């Protein structure tokens, strides 16, 4: 499957990945409205990790043997065998935080409602994830990995 | 569920028979409190599609109870109908509530809270019940208390130990959640238990209240016993299957009898932190154990990596994650890092031995705790970045490059 890979030597830590992720997962897809008006406030599903001089963006790795899928209490987190995606169904999520406890990447976040989690869906409705398309320094690449 | 999926991953044709007392066993037991509170209906609690049996080619004997196993003839006797023969057997009977002998506990309104039928029964009582006493303030006790508060009941929790959730939390974090629960209108009594359940003056068959060990009386319409669960291992009584508190299994989830496996709350499996087998009745571990058992039963070698105590709590809107050793008796044997922000109500504690994380409790700021769990599980020496562990923005970037690479390339 195709995954997002980070090149930390190219990352400037500008945070545009988080901005464009937030917009891509907003209702309006409008940067101003997404940040100022939308309720519930859309959250970025990519974490920009900064510990200077190191910085890179990390999001759900869509693991083969995903610990979050095994641990999920409600069946909200599933592995789609065909696409390889780890899919999160927010309707089924009860916000028990078990997935946050077991994700070794820290890539699952509490959404702004505080009642459910949220994570990278590789922007399935776009040709390429928004964080990748909008990274100004090509520090994020989207490519086929085995 | 986990076992069936694992078996079918390896073996598409072998016959699988499932015996379950419950009509629809593929639901999330931890979600029964959601059902009672009204946050979820049963459809939402189902972890799998209704086509699960068919799509996995399972002969599902739901509504049947396994009574005994004849190991030499490889037969499972059921409560009705013909016995079922097997080549390989998985015992995943789970746990049952522990109910101590309490005078007056034979009344109908004394309930337990572990299964769907328990939840339905409790729900049926809530049309008339106005108040409840919950005996035991562990995970089940707190979850049922929240559901009852949501339904408008006046609840009193009675905990024998000095503080609530004492198997999961330390005194400080326990006090934080105790305050929130109290603010929600719940009365919490610690250091006491119920010595007697009494009837109503007008009808002694109905629950009227409880008498505590100190003699205090608390009036209520319902009593919920939530002291804990014990393995449901009756099925292997009078067999040669070795048990301790639960059924003993090796890392393939096999018992001492070949072709007989056990997983989940009934089994005593490996804990990678204390390096011994122990009871760990936790959903994520049960699922993984079932999966490992399934692979081995189908002929694919798989070893259980082990689990350890791990809990994430969401009750009363106070997120808490805690795992490993959280409240040791001999505190001086550990290096303890603590951060406590009274204003933001954030509490973070990490326990280490020889620069290896062995336990964690985070309250209200639980982000990225999985990274710490990974460090604990792999016994990573954190000396080089120990000072940053409790910093607000701790993440993978704080790890040394070689370690970061290892985690990043885990896939």
Size of chain B in residues: 411
CATH class of A63-119: alpha beta
Flag whether pLDDT at B57 surpasses 60: yes
Task: Give the separation between CA A67 and CA A70, rounded to whole angstroms.
Answer: 5
Average pLDDT over residues A5-25: 95
B155 and B124 housed in the same domain: yes
Residues near B1 by beta carbon (within 8 Å), at least 6 away in sequence: B25, B26, B47, B48, B52, B287, B290
Instruction: Report percent pLDDT > 70 for chain B.
Output: 100
B401 and B348 housed in the same domain: yes
B343 and B267 housed in the same domain: no
Of the candidates A51, A91, A104, the beta carbon closest to that of B410 is on: A104
Predicted confidence at residue A41, as pLDDT, reads: 87
Q: How many of the other CB atoms lie within 10 Å of CB of B202? A: 7
B272 and B372 housed in the same domain: no
Of the candidates B2, B28, B39, the beta carbon closest to that of A73 is on: B28
Of the candidates B2, B367, B397, the beta carbon closest to that of A56 is on: B397
Of the candidates A96, A101, A110, the beta carbon closest to that of B373 is on: A101
Can you tell me which residue has the tokens 């006790």? B141
Are B207 and B122 in contact by the 8 Å Cβ rule? The answer is: no
CA nearest to A58, candidates B322, B405, B323, B378: B405
Of the candidates B45, B321, B397, the beta carbon closest to that of A55 is on: B397
Q: Residue B254 gets which letter from DSSP?
A: B
B195 and B164 housed in the same domain: yes
Among positive and negative, which fits the CA dihedral B258, B264, B265, B269? positive
pLDDT, tens digit, 9 for 90 and up, residues B86-144: 999 999 999 999 999 999 999 999 999 999 999 999 999 999 999 999 999 999 999 99
Average pLDDT over residues B18-29: 94
**What does residue B21 show for φ and ψ, rounded to 5 degrees?**
-65, -30
B46 and B115 housed in the same domain: no
Is the previous residue joined to B121 through a cis bond, with omega within 30 degrees of 0?
Answer: no
Do B314 and A51 count as a contact with CB atoms less than 8 A apart?
no
Flag whether pLDDT at B411 surpasses 90: no
Task: Give the separation between CA B353 and CA B169, rounded to whole angstroms.
Answer: 19
Are B72 and B203 in contact by the 8 Å Cβ rule? The answer is: no
State the SS3 of chain A: CEEEEECCCCCCCCCHHHHHHHHHCCCCCCHHHHHHCCCCCCCCCCEEEEECCEEEEECCCCCCCCHHHHHCCCCCEEECCCCCCEEECCCCCCCCCHHHHHCCCCCCEECCCCCCEECCCCCCCCCCCHHHHCCCCCCEEEEECC
- Which site among A78, A105, A116, A139 would you substitute to test the B interface, given the most B Cβ atoms closer than 10 Å to its Cβ? A105
CA nearest to B174, candidates B193, B156, B188, B192: B188
Cβ-in-10-Å burial (0-12, 13-18, 19+) of B348 comes to: buried
Instruction: Report percent pLDDT > 90 for chain B.
Output: 96
Cβ-in-10-Å burial (0-12, 13-18, 19+) of B108 comes to: exposed
Cβ-in-10-Å burial (0-12, 13-18, 19+) of B239 comes to: middle
B353 three-state secondary structure: strand
Flag whether pLDDT at B410 surpasses 80: no
B4 three-state secondary structure: helix
With CA atoms as reference, the chain A residue closest to B48 would be: A75
Instruction: Report percent pLDDT > 90 for chain A.
Output: 92
Flag whether pLDDT at B359 surpasses 50: yes
Residues near B3 by beta carbon (within 8 Å), at least 6 away in sequence: B90, B92, B263, B290, B291, B293, B294, B297
User: Could you give the C-alpha distances from B186 to A98, B119, B132, in angstroms and in order?
Assistant: 26, 20, 10
Predicted confidence at residue B407, as pLDDT, reads: 81
Do B321 and A97 count as a contact with CB atoms less than 8 A apart?
yes
Task: Give the separation between CA B41 and CA B138, rounded to whole angstroms.
Answer: 24
Of the candidates A73, A91, A106, the beta carbon closest to that of B367 is on: A106
Domain that holds residue B196: 110-227
B194 and B243 housed in the same domain: no
Of the candidates B317, B393, B397, the beta carbon closest to that of A54 is on: B397
With CA atoms as reference, the chain B residue closest to A67 would be: B284
Chain B positions touching A51 (Cβ under 8 A) are: 388, 393, 395, 397-398
Average pLDDT over residues B214-243: 97
Chain B positions touching A73 (Cβ under 8 A) are: 28, 30-31, 283-284
Q: How many of the other CB atoms lie within 10 Å of CB of B163? A: 20
Domain regions of chain A by residue span: 1-59+120-146, 63-119
B215 and B156 housed in the same domain: yes
Q: Do domains A1-59+120-146 and A63-119 have the same CATH topology?
A: yes
Flag whether pLDDT at B389 surpasses 50: yes
Pick from A38-47, B56-65, B147-156, B188-197: least confident: A38-47
User: Could you give the C-alpha distances from A125 to A6, A62, A121, A133, B240, in angstroms and in order?
Assistant: 21, 17, 9, 14, 57
Q: How far is CA B56 from the centre of its chain?
A: 27
Minimal C-alpha gap between B292 and chain A (Å):
12
Predicted confidence at residue A40, as pLDDT, reads: 85
Predicted confidence at residue A45, as pLDDT, reads: 97
B61 and B151 housed in the same domain: no
In the predicted model, what is the mean pLDDT of chain A? 95
Residue B165 parent element (H or E): none
Residue B173 parent element (H or E): helix B171-183
Do B2 and A58 count as a contact with CB atoms less than 8 A apart?
no
Those residues of chain B whose CB sits closer than 8 Å to some CB in chain A are: 2, 28, 30-31, 34, 39-40, 44-48, 283-284, 287-288, 291, 310, 312-314, 317, 319, 321, 323, 366-371, 373-374, 388, 393, 395-398, 401, 407-408, 410-411
Average pLDDT over residues B222-249: 97
> With an 8 Å Cβ cutoff, is A85 touching chain B?
no
Average pLDDT over residues A34-45: 92
Do B369 and A110 count as a contact with CB atoms less than 8 A apart?
no
| Number of separate domains in chain B | 3
Do B31 and A94 count as a contact with CB atoms less than 8 A apart?
yes
Task: Give the separation between CA B230 and CA B95, rounded to whole angstroms.
Answer: 5
In the predicted model, what is the mean pLDDT of chain B? 96
Are B247 and B75 in contact by the 8 Å Cβ rule? The answer is: no
Do A75 and B321 count as a contact with CB atoms less than 8 A apart?
no
B213 and B128 housed in the same domain: yes
Domain end: B227, B253, B272, which one?
B227
B408 versus B130: the higher-pLDDT residue is B130
Q: CATH classification of A1-59+120-146, choosing from 3.30.70.20, 3.60.20.10, 3.40.50.1100, 3.40.50.970?
A: 3.30.70.20
CATH code for the domain in which residue B81 is found: 3.50.50.60
Chain B positions touching A50 (Cβ under 8 A) are: 393, 397
Are B181 and B157 in contact by the 8 Å Cβ rule? The answer is: yes
CATH code for the domain in which residue B383 is found: 3.30.390.30
B243 and B219 housed in the same domain: no
Minimal C-alpha gap between B31 and chain A (Å):
7
B6 and B86 housed in the same domain: yes
Is B102 inside a domain boundary?
Answer: no
For the residues of B36-101, what is the DSSP string, one character each? HHTS--HHHHBSS-TTHHHHTTEEEEET--EEEEETTTTEEEESSS--EE-SSEEE---EEE----
Flag whether pLDDT at B211 surpasses 90: yes
């Amino acid at each position: 499957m195709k995954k997002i890979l980070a090149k930390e030597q190219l990352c400037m830590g500008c945070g545009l990945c988080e901005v464009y992720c937030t917009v891509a997962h907003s209702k309006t897809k409008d940067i101003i409205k997404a940040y100022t008006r939308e309720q519930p406030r859309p959250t970025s599903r990519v974490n920009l990790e900064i510990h200077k001089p190191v910085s890179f963006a990390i999001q759900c790795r869509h693991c083969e043997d995903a610990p979050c899928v095994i641990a999920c209490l409600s069946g909200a987190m599933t592995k789609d065998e065909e696409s390889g995606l780890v899919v999160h169904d927010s309707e089924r999520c009860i916000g028990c935080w078990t997935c946050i406890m077991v994700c070794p990447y820290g890539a699952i976040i509490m959404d702004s409602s505080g009642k459910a989690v949220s994570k990278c869906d590789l922007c399935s409705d776009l040709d390429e994830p928004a964080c990748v398309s909008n990274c100004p320094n090509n520090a994020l690449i989207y490519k086929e990995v085995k | 569920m986990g076992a069936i999926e694992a078996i079918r991953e390896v073996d598409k044709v072998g016959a699988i028979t499932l015996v379950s007392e419950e009509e629809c066993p593929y639901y999330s037991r931890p979600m029964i409190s959601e059902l009672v509170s009204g946050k979820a209906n049963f459809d939402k609690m189902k972890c799998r599609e209704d086509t699960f049996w068919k799509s996995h080619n399972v002969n599902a004997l739901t509504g049947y109870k396994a009574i005994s196993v004849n190991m030499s003839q490889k037969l499972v006797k059921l409560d009705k109908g013909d016995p079922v023969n097997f080549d390989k057997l998985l015992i995943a009977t789970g746990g049952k509530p522990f109910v101590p002998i309490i005078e007056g506990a034979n009344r109908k309104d004394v309930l337990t809270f572990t299964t769907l039928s328990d939840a339905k029964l409790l729900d049926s009582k809530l049309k008339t019940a106005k108040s409840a006493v919950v005996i035991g303030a562990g995970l089940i006790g707190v979850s049922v208390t929240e559901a009852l508060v949501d339904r408008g009941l006046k609840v009193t929790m009675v905990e024998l130990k000095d503080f609530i959730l004492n198997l999961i939390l330390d005194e400080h974090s326990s006090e934080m959640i105790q305050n929130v629960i109290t603010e929600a209108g719940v009365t919490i009594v610690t250091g006491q238990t119920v010595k007697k359940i009494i009837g109503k003056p007008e009808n002694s068959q109905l629950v009227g209240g409880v008498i505590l060990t100190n003699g205090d009386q608390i009036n209520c319409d319902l009593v919920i016993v939530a002291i804990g669960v014990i393995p449901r291992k009756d099925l292997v009584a009078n067999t040669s299957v070795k048990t301790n508190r639960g059924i003993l299994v090796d890392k393939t989830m096999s018992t001492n009898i070949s072709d007989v496996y056990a997983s989940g709350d009934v089994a005593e499996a490996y804990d990678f932190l204390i390096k011994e087998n122990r009871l760990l009745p936790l959903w994520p571990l049960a699922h993984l154990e079932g999966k490992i058992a399934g692979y081995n039963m189908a002929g694919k070698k798989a070893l259980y990596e082990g689990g350890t105590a791990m809990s994430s709590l969401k009750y009363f809107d106070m997120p808490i994650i805690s795992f490993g050793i959280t409240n040791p008796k001999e505190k001086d044997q550990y290096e303890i890092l603590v951060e406590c922000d009274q204003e933001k109500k954030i509490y973070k504690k990490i326990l280490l031995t020889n620069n290896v994380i062995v336990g964690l409790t985070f309250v209200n700021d639980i982000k990225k705790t999985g990274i710490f769990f990974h460090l604990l599980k792999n016994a990573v020496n954190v000396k080089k970045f120990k000072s940053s562990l409790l910093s607000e923005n701790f993440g993978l970037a704080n790890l040394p490059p070689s370690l970061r690479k290892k985690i990043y390339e885990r896939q």
